[in-house]
Structure 1
Amino acid sequence: MASTTIQVPRETRDHLAELAKERGVSIGQLVETLAAQTPTAAQRAERLAADRDVVRNVIGIGISDEEFEQAPDILGNIYKIAAAKTRAARGDAA
């Protein structure tokens, strides 16, 4: 794969160098990892749409995107409920 040069302030370069050293990788590998772990706005929107489709399919009710936007944190609440059910099934404390 071809590489390129990115210009950043010295302080940023030094910070990246320290982070890379701590992780035992090069600055290029560190930047590559950080970029791979950080989704773009389009990727976040795609994930949100996919998550909403899963919720619609699981509960069997057609909820519009506008209804999702107006509702409280539906996905967050679903994740909390699922986590509580998982803990209960394993016998963990709530």
Structure 2
Amino acid sequence: MATTTIQVSRATRDRLAELAKEQGLSIGQLVERLADQQPTAAQRAERLAADREVIRSLFGVNISDEEFEEAPDVLGNIYKIAAEKVRAATRGNAA
């Protein structure tokens, strides 16, 4: 595997060296581990889309992405939106 050099301040280098030593790693291994633990924006978006699909499936209603975005209390609003959609569907079937 090819390696490269990154430039950081001495204080950062010293901190990374201390953290790496505590974990029995080289600084390079520590940086790799830290980078692997941080998802990219694309990975976060993919995870969010998958999580939303799970919620839609569990509730059995189609909650739009816009409705998710408008929900500051995500779980509370999911329950509210799902209940409203179920009530509307039930009223539609009763007619």
Shorter-chain TM band? 0.7 to 0.9
Rounded Cα–Cα distance in structure 2 between residues aligned with 1:18 and 1:29? 13
Unaligned runs of 5+ in 2: 80-95
1:37 aligned residue: 37
Rounded Cα–Cα distance in structure 2 between residues aligned with 1:21 and 1:52? 40
Rounded Cα–Cα distance in structure 1 between residues aligned with 2:60 and 2:53? 10
Which segments of structure 1 move beyond 2 Å, counting only runs of 4 or more? none
Q: Once the 2 structures are TM-superposed, how far is the Cα of residue 38 of structure 1 from its aligned partner?
A: 0.7
1:73 aligned residue: 74
Q: Once the 2 structures are TM-superposed, how far is the Cα of residue 41 of structure 1 from its aligned partner?
A: 1.4
Q: Once the 2 structures are TM-superposed, how far is the Cα of residue 73 of structure 1 from its aligned partner?
A: 2.0
1:86 aligned residue: none
1:88 aligned residue: none
Counterpart of 1:22 in 2: which secondary structure? Answer: helix
Taking the TM superposition and a 5 Å limit, the aligned residue runs for 1:9-88 are: 9-71=9-71, 72-74=73-75
Report the structure number with the largest CA radius of gyration: 2
1:19-70 superposed Cα distances (whole Å, 9 cap, x missing partner): 0000010000000000000111111111111100111111110000010111
> What TM-score do you get using the length of structure 2 for normalisation?
0.75
Identity among equivalent pairs (%): 70
> What TM-score do you get using the length of structure 1 for normalisation?
0.76
Rounded Cα–Cα distance in structure 2 between residues aligned with 1:28 and 1:48? 30
